[in-house]
Amino acid sequence: MKNVNQMVCDRIDSWDIPRWMMDIINDSDYNHMDELYGDFETEDELIDFMEREYGMWYAIMMDDDDTDWGFGSNDRDEAISLARSMDAKYIAVIKMGDDPVCVDTIEEF
């Protein structure tokens, strides 16, 4: 019989979660998975929480030479809508903080 932490892990594994989020989740203490992520019933709830918790910025990138992370949104859906309307090449997922870093890209939108 699976314990509650394994059931939470199995549920999250079945969702389409961005790579940067899975990296954070996989680094979490397995024995506390239920406490950390057990309240999320859908992947959208978890994604919304992680975006708020980690202060993500979705930068609209027009081409491979674009190095400006200034234009975008903190909301993934809004950034995707902007990228589509601007015919952007991809979206850079930026983890904000003292030293912002690109942790992922979204190339299909």
Q: Dump pLDDT digits (tens) for 87-100.
A: 999 999 998 878 88
Q: Report d(CA 87, CA 78) in Å as an integer.
A: 14
Structure tokens at 11: 């549920």
C-beta separation of 91 from 58 below 8 A: yes
- What would the pLDDT profile of 44-79 be if each residue is shown by its tens digit? 999 888 888 888 899 999 998 888 888 999 888 899
Q: What are the structural domain ranges in the chain?
A: 4-53, 56-106
The overall average pLDDT reported for the chain is 89
